[in-house]
Chains A and B, each alone.
Chain A
Amino acid sequence: MALDRKIAYIDLSTGKSEIKPIPLEVRKKFIGGRGLDAYLLFNNAPQGCDPLGPENTLIISGGLLTATCASATSRTHIMAKSPLTGLLGSTNMGGFFSAEMAWADFHHLVITGKAEKPVYLWIHNGQIEIRDAVKLWGKSSTETQWAIREELGDQEIKSAVIGQAGENLVTYANVMTGIKNAGGRTGMGCVMGSKNLKAVAVRGTMDVKIAHPLEALEFNKKFIEQITTAKVNKTQGTLGTHFIWGATNSWGGIRTRNFQFNQMENADELEPESLDDIATETMGPYHMTGCFGCQVHCRAQYRIPSGPYAGIYNEGPEYTSFGAFGSEPDCNKAETVLTANYLVNQYGVDNLEIGSIISWAMELYELGIITSKETDGIDLRFSNADALIEMIHRICTRKGWLGNVLADGGIPASEKIGKHSFDYLIQVKGMNNLHSDERATPGLALNIATSSRGSDHLRSRPAIDLYHLPESVLRKIYSSPVPYEGPLSSDSMEYIGKPWQVFWQENCYMAVDSIGICKYHTTFLGATLPNFEDWPRAIYLNTGLELTPKDIWDAAERSNNMERLFNLREGLTRYDLVKGDMLNHRYFDEPCLRGAPDVIGIMIDRKKFDVMVDEFYGHHGWDKEGVPTQATLTRLGLEQEPTHLL
């Protein structure tokens, strides 16, 4: 059965591993994927552990429905204590890796310890081997994957690997699989590097017994129809996530020049439609590729058109790369974005974080807080594309004073640079914000301030109200599976009712990450895409597990509380600008200067924001400090944690 996939506990210090089943009770409580990872992390990583020490616990998992007959369920989730934030580290990537791991009999790998020299894990049909990776050290993310296939003589092997950024302990290094699937937030590649773990290679040919195979396939057809007929997915399948960048920039919801502005004007060359003319192989329905079991195919394939990397093949770039290497540093050439996107994929580093940190350094340079002495002569002004590319190389290889300092992440770098540099760092919990500007959307501002892994648009993102739907439609979505009669406004610029939306979406995405589905197949992109009510049948037909929408909601709420408990244990406090649920002062003090007429002059209202946080904590059953009350823990069955049941 799909439910039979196991947990492998691997200690890289001793070279020993142990395989355990996942009891049904634990499945029902945490579902799988991210939810169960949160439970495993809380119970296995010791309080206060060094993120780069052997005791940090790295967990790699697939979701409950991964490798079944349910489409778009091959997300891989990775969790550990984050070297970037010192709090919850958690990241999620697409591709084929977790499906292959499930066919090899595993749903979760719990990796502790540190190997003496570089190694990689070879996991195949229930077997676990630790193999020498000295020859792989120094290779890029794609080279590593090819070298492993070559060495083991099987082109079907899927590997989750680190590039040079992970080896060099850049605190926001990625885990990569395929050309561009990136577990790219909170530095999970850095944790792998600290363990001398270059890669995890998997290959599986074991049967997955589906509970009701014919019905599962039949039901999946309905699901596919629901997904592929959505307007948003037709656009996504033609232009990729890049289209969201274009749309957001239209009304002034983007960040540019390190948050000084909220729209990149005259950005025509960066618009998704322009790329067909620029890159030699990109965009359009026939140049899109996708993850295992997906019918949307949201990512473009391209060749870099000119410059030193001309002709090189790559995939993407996503919304985030257009923000990180286009709007944020104010570089308006597509070639810059395409080149930088290729480099970060090969080095294995978070495009969002590196783009933000370089743009922050650009503002510091223009303000005179850092000078050409610190930059080793690089003219680090905004719009200098050569400087941007050079800084990517320097950070990933820790070259030069500034490259080395920025490789440690924003908060440690601000401590070293000093001189109010922290004030210009646009971050939450030590993680840089997405390249969008949330001042005109208080719900999104609340979302990024309170998200469990630092500023984050993938943990809640109550964006359905951006579609300007009638309130009745919003109520239909947000009143299931738990009835909600409080205020709800379909105005995206409102504060009223937004805490419920953030809370609801938070549970929704925890469920999504636990089942293992791609967010583009859920309410992330629109009201007509599946959510709680649609998942139980897919789960039942594929696994035989009977869960109601409310059961899934409860498991998600429980798992969100596990993440909260982990963060509180590691030092989160509500108003702390470094480790709390707070936003940079620019959100409250500096108005939007560009965009649509309604957006001009807008800021976040500090008092209303505070009320939203109170309300949000209230929905969770947390006190005014954001700590779960005893009643909440008891209601969710978490009063005995840590339990070490697994």
Chain B
Amino acid sequence: MAIENEKVSASESLRKTRTYGKVRCMNPSCMGRLEPAPGSMQITCPVCGMSYRLFWVTPELPRIRGPVWEVNRKLAEEVMAKKKLEASKDGSL
């Protein structure tokens, strides 16, 4: 028959790439892998400075619960101020 029995599909082969114990920084171009200490409740990305609150689905599986709001707001305001300054310099504002 046309169905190949033992061939490993792309999705099956990619299972090897699953990692436990780590989360990814959620700042889109940063994406740094962060490895929180087991059971820890917070982590800061050393690259972009985003800080996150953590939740442990299982003792091996952390997930980002949400940002640390004050840090998030501060970083956002800095970026906005910088963008406004650039825009006023190149005349687009």
Contacts and interface: CB of A to CB of B under 8 A. Distances in A.
A420 interface: no
Contacts of B69: 265-266
B8 to A, nearest CB: 9
A528 B2 contact: no
A547 B7 CA distance: 15
A593 B15 contact: no
Place the interface of chain A in its size category: 35 or more
Interface string B1-29: 11101010111111101101000101111
B75 interface: yes
A226 interface: yes
Nearest to B5: A537
A270 B14 CA distance: 33
A504 to B, nearest CB: 12
A530 B67 contact: no
A226 B11 contact: yes
Given A593-B80, A600-B79, A528 B63 contact: no
Nearest to B75: A597
Interface string A564-588: 0000000000000000000000000
Given A226-B15, A597-B75, A250 B61 contact: no
Interface string A588-607: 00000111111111000000
B12 A594 contact: no
A235 B57 contact: yes
Contacts of A533: 7, 9-11
Interface in B41-90: 48-50, 52, 55, 57-58, 61, 63-67, 69, 72-73, 75-76, 78-80, 83
Contact of B29 (A491, A528, A594): A491
Contact of B76 (A250, A473, A477, A594): A594
B14 A468 contact: no
Given A250-B26, A271-B66, A601 B79 contact: yes
B40 to A, nearest CB: 15
A231 B61 contact: yes
Given A273-B55, A528-B14, A528-B17, A468 B31 contact: yes
Contacts of A440: 28
Contacts of A530: 9, 11
Given A265-B73, A271-B66, A540-B3, A600 B55 contact: no
A231 B18 contact: yes
A468 B75 CA distance: 22
B76 A597 contact: yes
Contacts of B37: none
The 6 closest A-B pairs by CB, nearest first: A533-B9, A468-B31, A596-B27, A251-B26, A600-B79, A598-B28
19 contacts: A234-B58, A235-B61, A238-B57, A247-B26, A263-B72, A267-B66, A273-B55, A440-B28, A491-B28, A491-B29, A527-B14, A528-B15, A528-B17, A533-B9, A533-B10, A596-B28, A596-B48, A597-B27, A598-B29
